[in-house]
Amino acid sequence: MTSFIIAHLYPNLMNLYGDRGNLICLQKRLEWLGYDCRVKSLDIGDEWNFADVDMIFMGGGSDREQSLVYDDLQCKKEELWREIKNGFPVLFICGSYQLLGSYYLTGQGFKMEGLNYFDFFSEGGPKRLIGNIVVEVKNNNETYQVIGFENHGGYTYFNDTTLRPWGKVIKGHGNNGKDHTEGIIFNNLIGTYLHGPLLPKNPAVADFFIRVMMARKGINIDSGCLTDKIENYARQQVLAKVMKIKS
């Protein structure tokens, strides 16, 4: 049986608002498609070997927890960037999304150097951006409404205007609450503020990653057997509720 391994970076530090549910979702969907999927935890000081894993996932974290993992990540910076450029599938949520830029300056004035892959920065804003969020993204050449939950003090701004935000905010705050952008997409990397967890609420995004993981093993996804009937019903209920709320 073909098996997949997803690396979960710093699971004890970077894991907020149900982020681990993203891994359970990927595991379950792969299982339903007839594959095996294991999650491998990688903690501070652990060696990474990209040849052994099919995808990388990191959740969000408090400012303190973020600062603890930043140093460790700096040691893996070159290797990770090489893989991202080669199309390695990566999902980074909130605090881990922020570190892909040049820096994160917390509201308390503490500055963390980012990995500098992209020319954007994050700075603590006047109030935390909290609540349910709906974002329109392009997924598999179709427009898809992504639903999630955000809670961040950092506001993210792109210096480089050629960077591609992941989506457009329909409801909620996104990168900075002003320019209606949300997250970033680059090759097969998605950085986003959306907790929720993201993937169970948005199975099409889970399938984006599954498709990439499979293609890298030379398999074409046939997700026809996953009807997503229950998931879509749940999505409709949440969408209706969120879109009704005044922001």
* Active site residue ranges: 94, 195
**Closest distance to ligand GLN from the beta carbon of 10 (Å):** 12
Neighbouring CB atoms inside 10 A of 74's CB total 14
Neighbouring CB atoms inside 10 A of 170's CB total 18
Pick the closer one to ligand GLN by CB: 88 or 155: 155
Pick the closer one to ligand GLN by CB: 154 or 191: 154
Residue number of the CB closest to ligand GLN reads 60
Task: Output the CA torsion sign for 33, 141, 7, 228.
Answer: negative
Q: How many helices (H) and strands (E) does the chain have?
A: 6, 12
Residues of this chain that interact with ligand GLN (CB under 6 A) are 16, 60-63, 66, 94-95, 151-154
Q: State the Cα–Cα distance between residues 115 and 99, nearest whole angstrom.
A: 6
Q: State the Cα–Cα distance between residues 64 and 62, nearest whole angstrom.
A: 5
Q: State the Cα–Cα distance between residues 150 and 132, nearest whole angstrom.
A: 6
Coil vs helix vs strand at 28? helix
From the CA atom positions of the chain, what is the Rg in Å? 17
Q: How many CA atoms lie within 13 A of 5 on its CB side?
A: 11
**Closest distance to ligand GLN from the beta carbon of 149 (Å):** 9
Pick the closer one to ligand GLN by CB: 34 or 130: 130
Burial call 89-120: b when 16+ CB within 10 Å, e when fewer: bbbbbbbbbbbbbbbbebeeeeebebbebbeb
Pick the closer one to ligand GLN by CB: 139 or 192: 192
Length of the chain: 247
Pick the closer one to ligand GLN by CB: 19 or 231: 19
**Closest distance to ligand GLN from the beta carbon of 95 (Å):** 3
**Closest distance to ligand GLN from the beta carbon of 134 (Å):** 18
**Closest distance to ligand GLN from the beta carbon of 30 (Å):** 26
